[in-house]
Structure 1
Amino acid sequence: MQPEIQLTSHEILSINARDDVPSPILQLLSFENLTDSEDVSSQYRIVLFDGTHMQLSILSPKYSDLLLSNTLKIGSMLSMASFACRNVWNTRVIIIFNLAIKFTNLALFGKPRYLFKEQEQQMLGRDTSPTSKCSLKFGIHMPSVQHETSDNISPLKALNPFQNKWSIKGRVTNKRKMHHYSSPKSSRRVFSFDMIDVEGTEIRITCFGDIAEMHYHRVEARANYCLSKGTIREAKTKWNKLNNHLEITLDHNSILKRCDAAVNGEVNASRFTSINEIMYCSNNTLVDVIGLGEDLKNMHATQIVVVLAVNNAHVGYFNGKIMLQDHTDSLWATAFDEIGKNLLNISAKDLYMLQYDLTTARTPQSIIKDVVLLSFIFTLSITIDMYNSHTRIKATITKATTIDFQVECALLLADIARMSAVVEIQTN
């Protein structure tokens, strides 16, 4: 008996409008092998259906074994966890990065028709444009992959992992330092940089090994470059937080050259988050923020107000820092919630909510001011690490207690007595 499942009509229309449709479920109508091989390296073009429209799609090669093993078959219902719509074969195509099979071997739902007329012509073999390799099993003629504009430059948003020939042009917005890392087998070098094109689309470009050495000193921030040849792949979102599903890795065949007019004027791809909305962001989220800042280097100088924008700032839980000072020097130390609560006599949550409490004259600033210059006995945990070839000392307060002056005076007198005894012995 066929399971009861309802396709979402016009889901393909939504997918073409935006890439953030949550896990759409579509039906597989047909598939074809785009390569000569019949193994896990094969690439497949498939046709998906939403109950009303059908559309050409490209399946990530990592799922080729599902088709070869007949686990994924015609009639299957697919839930797409990660996907993107791009211009491929002179038409709009869904590129599937991650999927889950919901049901298999189901009957056809509804009467399918192509959303894009040129796809119907391609599948019927009536397209007369130049062809590339396709499966003879279906007798389908595929037009060559072309996304390039009149000057042979592809917009970044048109790139896809299945292009063999492409050229892009853009400005370097961010260049990272060369990093060295070691494994049991080898030692490698890596650096990356971000580019933005005239339409405001960004992409991450990464170089490894001798490729990194070759291009590191050639790449300059804010300079314009033309780039062709390299590997386009799905972005590793653990390290890459740009608003792009893809990233590029350069190889020995890549051509990177400086150009003069890639991007004229300021193109900004920032998506600014309001400062009052940051509190709702998850820990380690990357955000762009903009606001007014003051120059506080000299509190007695003329006030200087500047507009400050920060891209890719990490959101983290606040770890309060209270500067400690004795008769020798001062030190910044981190105080976590329990320690901070003991020092300020208020929890971090209550301290934050005070700014919205109109029934009290207490403010976060007044509470912090009340503990400045008070004396405590601190127990610290000290760690030393390296950051950008500089040694950093990090101090964390593990215990803070108020001073019992009677006990402290007794200890001080005992120390004085011991020192006096030592001096007396040395004198005699």
Structure 2
Amino acid sequence: MNRIKNNTRMPRNSGSTNETDVHADACRLIANSNKPPEPKYENSWTAGVQMFVSFLLAGYGMVAASLLLDKVQHWDVFQVVSEVYILVPALLGLKGNLEMTLASRLSTHAHLGHIDSNLSTLIVGNMCLIQCQAVLVGFLAAMAAVAMGWIPDGQFDIHHAMLLCASSVLTASFASLVLGLIMIGVIVLSKHMDINPDNVATPIAASLGDLTTLALLSWIASLLHRTIGSSIILPSIIIIGGLILVPVCGYIAYENKFTRQALDEGWVPVVSAMVISSAGGLILDYTVSNYSGIAVFQLVINGIGGNMVAVHASRLSTSLHTGQKMDSVLSSTTKLLMVMVIPSQLIFIHTIEYLKAGHTSLTPIFILIYMSAALLQVFLLLTISHYMVVGMWKLGMDPDNSAIPYLTALGDLLGTALLGIAFHVLYAIGDKDSDLGD
């Protein structure tokens, strides 16, 4: 502005210089307008309340999904096509990663101001991106379920395989449509209410993702099982329609400036996460055979740990995108999340006891050792999250697209392993109540 004022004192014959200087000032103003808005100061108490409420919602969504699975497992389709059981954890895990990366991505866009200026472009790009990813992920999960169901018995049923593929593809597509719109609404509403979307979006995505995907899968599989009989025409139409949708949505996402990088980077983390989670499944299979009470607590420790590390990664990624000063490993966010482990775990393990859903009495020594395992799991996850997110950023990758699938899968692996050790220690020191290790 000083340059413009000085230019007004210059003679008339220097108009060309004035035009050049004014143009330069205009360019600087445009450049400054493209900078991300200055981050608002966030009170630790406010952030803690927002996170804790979202963790409670996510936890009760997880409990609701568990109760729903307990109900639908008696439906005919689950009894006749037993491979649906194999499909459930694979599809829920893969879909959960897609929704949580979407939530993390949109939270960063909200902080960068893109929600205000490019909302329609963001909606179109991200809805097409998750459709493309979800359909392929659904097909991949179904293929894995078919293979796992076929290999032990050596019998392949084409009707079961087609039903699984069609159910998975259709469920993934519908769930992505519904959850994608909900997540966009959550982000926009959070911004409007001056709530940090990084604190609430990923846990809400996790809670709604499991419940919505399981409900849709059960309903669609049941409908297809009742209607197709011995025909594979309807499942074939569904699968072909989904596979046609993939390149169309993929092209639109690639042409969108906000989703091109996510389309390039998003595949390897999701598939790698499935492999890591499978290792956790092998550990769970071993521990459950020795300690039947471990299964229900595995859902809690992994769910809470995964939600906490997703929030941490989302906040850290936003800090990098907005140019904020990097915190240390033991940042205020890390400390805040560690503090919330104890009340979160206590609420849900007592909820399990109240619902009589577990097989283990909550003795003081059990709570002490279980809490030690949960705290160690979250501390390790948050430490890994810091180095992983920063490392991806330095390598030119967007952590919003890549970090969360790895971290939630590691959460499953660490949680299951540490819980197995905890039960082994309890059994070894003689805390053998009437249920432990039963």
TM-score (norm 1): 0.18
Greater relative CO, 1 or 2 (CA 8 Å, sep 6+): 2
Q: Please identify which structure carries the higher helix content.
A: 2
TM-score (norm 2): 0.17
Q: Please identify which structure carries the higher strand content.
A: 1
